[in-house]
Copies of this chain bind each other. A is one copy, B any other.
Amino acid sequence: MDKRQLIENIRRKQSFLCVGLDTDLRKLPARLMNEEDPVFAFNRAIVDATQALCIAYKPNLAFYESMGVQGWISFEKTVKYIRERYPDQFIIADAKRGDIGNTSAMYARCFFEELGVDAVTVAPYMGEDSVTPFLTYKDKWVILLALTSNKGSRDFQFMEDARGARLFEQVLRRSLTWAGDGQMMYVVGATQGKAFEDIRKIVPGHFLLVPGVGAQGGSLEEVCRYGMNASCGLIVNSSRAIIYADGGEDFAPAAAQAARKVQEQMAVELRKL
């Protein structure tokens, strides 16, 4: 999916919500455990219930890989289902990969060619040749970790060089030489508050993928105040607060209701543009 289409989807749906499919087998309602593939059955119901209210889905690979082979089957089925049923959804494989060139090339082929997702999250620590193999596919995206939402983000990401430039700012600046805002986005945690302003000075036109609203404590309003640009420029992810809005049999309508609530707040924010 290209940038123009993503922006068009946001306008049409009045939403920049990404639903995080962090599906944990241990948290599924009892009824689903009789299904042949409970994780896929859960995801399918969540997607059907929320697809009108969001513009993206983000399965977190860790949740699937931790279930071994069966997890990969559930992951592939989920991606295929969304791709075929709701082709206007932007699918993000939240994989946080990053390896030497030939290895990153294997990952890129896996995610973009075999699975057909739109974007992969990539970790920057290993530098340019760990990222660029993901940039050889037309209309496919790298979402580079810049400033994450967790406590450990303070350990290294705020490290300053002699001129006061912080590591996450160096990641932004350096990566601008690898690709433009039609192929690259950045992960910026909702908990980072005013750092959004500093980030927007470096990457005014890029989309930012923003996790950490909801369970991790970030505020949608604050994210919009400091992070929005003229064409929105935000994809805000919510995982647990939506998919586990109700832990019981009514999980799908409850997820729809939770997504609706976020979408309505987003529509308010979009009207300010």
Instruction: Give residues in A with beta carbon < 8 Å to B.
Output: 22, 24, 60, 62-63, 65-69, 72-73, 76, 96-101, 103-104, 106-107, 109-110, 114-115, 123-131, 145, 148-157, 159-162, 167, 170-171, 174, 216
B129–A151 touching, CB < 8 Å: yes
A-B contact pairs, 27 of them (CB 8 A): A60-B99, A62-B97, A62-B99, A65-B110, A66-B109, A66-B110, A68-B76, A68-B110, A72-B72, A100-B149, A100-B216, A123-B125, A123-B126, A124-B155, A126-B148, A126-B153, A127-B154, A127-B155, A127-B156, A129-B151, A130-B152, A156-B170, A156-B174, A159-B159, A160-B161, A160-B162, A161-B162
* Distance of A130 Cα from B98 Cα, bound (Å): 15
Question: What are the nearest 7 A-B pairs in CB distance?
Answer: A127-B152, A127-B155, A66-B110, A66-B106, A62-B103, A129-B152, A128-B152
Q: How far is the CB of A189 from chain B (nearest CB, A)?
A: 9
A63–B170 Cα gap in the complex (Å)? 30
B100 in contact with A99 (CB, 8 Å): no
Which residues of B sit under 8 angstroms from A128, Cβ to Cβ?
151-152, 155
Tell me which of B66, B123, B145 contacts A96 (CB under 8 A): B123
Residues of B within 8 A of A124 (CB): 125, 155-156
CA distance A145 to B100 in the complex (A): 12
User: Which residues of B lie under 8 Å from residue A171 when comparing CB positions?
Assistant: 156
Question: Please, which residues of chain B bring their CB within 8 A of the CB of A216?
Answer: 100
A152 CB contacts on chain B under 8 angstroms: 126-131
User: Are A60 and B150 CB-contacts (below 8 A) given A127-B157, A156-B125, A170-B159?
Assistant: no
The distance from the CB of A142 to the nearest CB of chain B, in whole angstroms, is 14
| Docked pose: A131 CA to B125 CA in angstroms | 15
Which chain B positions have C-beta within 8 A of A62?
97, 99, 103-104, 106-107, 110
Q: Which residue on B lies nearest to A107, using beta carbons?
A: B62
A129: B residues at CB distance < 8 A: 150-152
Minimum CB–CB distance from A2 to chain B (whole Å) comes to 25
Residue pair A63, B103 in contact (C-beta under 8 Å): yes
- In Å, the complex CA distance between A225 and B109 comes to 39
Chain B: CB-nearest residue to A146: B125
Question: Which one, B67, B131, B159, contacts A161 given CB within 8 A?
Answer: B159
How far does the alpha carbon of A114 sit from the alpha carbon of B64 in the complex, in Å?
A: 13
